[in-house]
A and B are shown apart, each in its own frame.
Chain A
Amino acid sequence: MRLPAVVILFPFIFFILFSFSSLAFGAKASRIELLDGKVYENVTFTVDSEYKIITIKVGDWKQEVSFPDVARIYDEEGKDVTAEYLGDYYTTPQEKGKPSLQEQTYRRYRKRPFNFGFSAGTNYSFPSGDYYDGITSGIGFGADVIIPVTKNVAIRGTISKSGMKDDLKGLVPGYIILEDDLSLNAWRYLVCGEYYHWPRWKTGGKVLYYFYTGLGAISHSFSGTATVQDPFSHDIIVIYGTKDTQTKFVTTYGGGVVPMISKTVGIDIGAELDVVFVGQTYGYGYYNTAGQYAIVFDLKIGLVALF
């Protein structure tokens, strides 16, 4: 069986490529100075960038030295070529205005930009869908607790009251409203996974971005009464809000930006989309049938404190 030449040549090609993949070709140096004071003159050397070692050779003798132990390398013409072979390993930090290697210690710096966050603010909710027919947008409030897990991932827990309210005029168009004591409360309880990004948080970065998704429940309670009058027949109709609580499963998607106004406090500006799983035929609105899903969209603004 005749084999392609490449199969036979492959190990040799591999050997050549591997040998030179991390090594500089043997170079000549007029002088190599080490940090411990040793000096080697008129030597050849190779650089192993994988293991960060230079190998100094004179005849059969060789000495291997770790990159940080090398002070200077001068080529045959006496030119300083240390940077060329060692890159930033040769430049002592003092030359770049930093403390020396010996003075550096690993500080116990914070793994995460903050250990705990608390946010509170106002929301403006826009409900949508058959389920919210007769319900209109309004102002609510909410609070969040943010617990970072890593420097980019956090867990967010939210309790908020949606600002949605009854739209009596939409429920009974054309009727004269004599008394409106209807009350709709929609409370959301959410647990979310959050991705956040705080560029340059160690050196005074001013803006934090976040995106989250999660799930929870939205609890609606509708109570009170309203009295309306037919403008033509003058009949008076009392509308009863059945004291009833309906809790639905909800998934949520949100995000925002936090411009920091101090080291720990920022303004939280965000938006959130909640998908409410209605799963029944009767909604609160005028129509007695409702789609399977409804939407609540929120715009939010508040303050956040990051500790």
Chain B
Amino acid sequence: MKKRIVFLAVLLCGLLILFSCAKYKITHKLEQPINQPSNCSIGEIKDELPADFDEDDKPSLEHIDKFKDYLRIALIEKGIFRDVLLMNPESEYQVTGGILDFKKGSGFVRFLGLFGAGNAKVTTTLRLEDRNTGEILFAGNFKQEVSSYMESGEKIFERVAKDFAKELSKQINKLKRGE
């Protein structure tokens, strides 16, 4: 009996650790299928940081441009849209978002191994909108972190983009299967 309890406790631990690694929360599930093939554009990624966030610590325009590029690449790789461009006024869908939290981090400090002191972090909100109606079709808050000195801090944006595309693709497939 005790062995069973221990086994269940270890299993529960493992599951808790596994689920605690989830890096995003979906706030608006996809409820209608996406017209395919269709085009999408990457719209504005806004500053939605708290009002007292230090200006010097905010992401730069270069960071935002790279984030948009990563989003574009991630959506193309998932094959969700025929084409994904930046600020395309004729696209049917648009991805917009905002930065909720950001820490640029430092590769050098990560190398020193100071218990996460140099980790790069980002929390973003991303939305897929229907450009014609303005309706939000899919949205979520995504969070990523880089803790290895061997990785660039910009990986946080790449990973968020991949998570967004992955979850959107999953929801599209669910709708196709009629779940």
Contacts and interface: CB of A to CB of B under 8 A. Distances in A.
Given A3-B2, A10-B13, A52-B125, A18 B46 contact: no
A68 B167 CA distance: 22
Nearest to A8: B9
A61 interface: no
Interface stretch (B34-42, B48-56, B171-179): B48-56
Contacts of B12: 11-12, 15
Nearest to B44: A105
A14 B15 CA distance: 11
How many interface residues does chain B have, given as a range?
35 or more
B18 interface: no
Interface in A82-96: 87-89, 91-93, 96
A18 B24 CA distance: 16
Contacts, number: 94
Tell me if A's interface is mostly helix, strand, loop or mixed. Answer: mixed
Interface residues of A, number: 37
A51 B141 contact: yes
A202 B55 contact: yes
B48 A101 contact: yes
Contacts of B141: 51-53, 66
A178 interface: no
A7 B2 CA distance: 12
Contacts of A52: 100-101, 123, 125, 141
A101 B9 contact: no
A14 B123 contact: no
A31 B97 CA distance: 26
Nearest to B58: A106
Given A50-B143, A106-B47, A106-B60, 16 more contacts: A8-B6, A12-B9, A12-B12, A14-B16, A15-B12, A51-B141, A52-B101, A66-B27, A66-B98, A68-B100, A92-B51, A96-B51, A98-B51, A101-B98, A105-B47, A202-B56
Interface of A: 3, 7-8, 10-12, 14-15, 18, 48, 50-53, 64-68, 87-89, 91-93, 96, 98, 101-102, 104-109, 111, 202
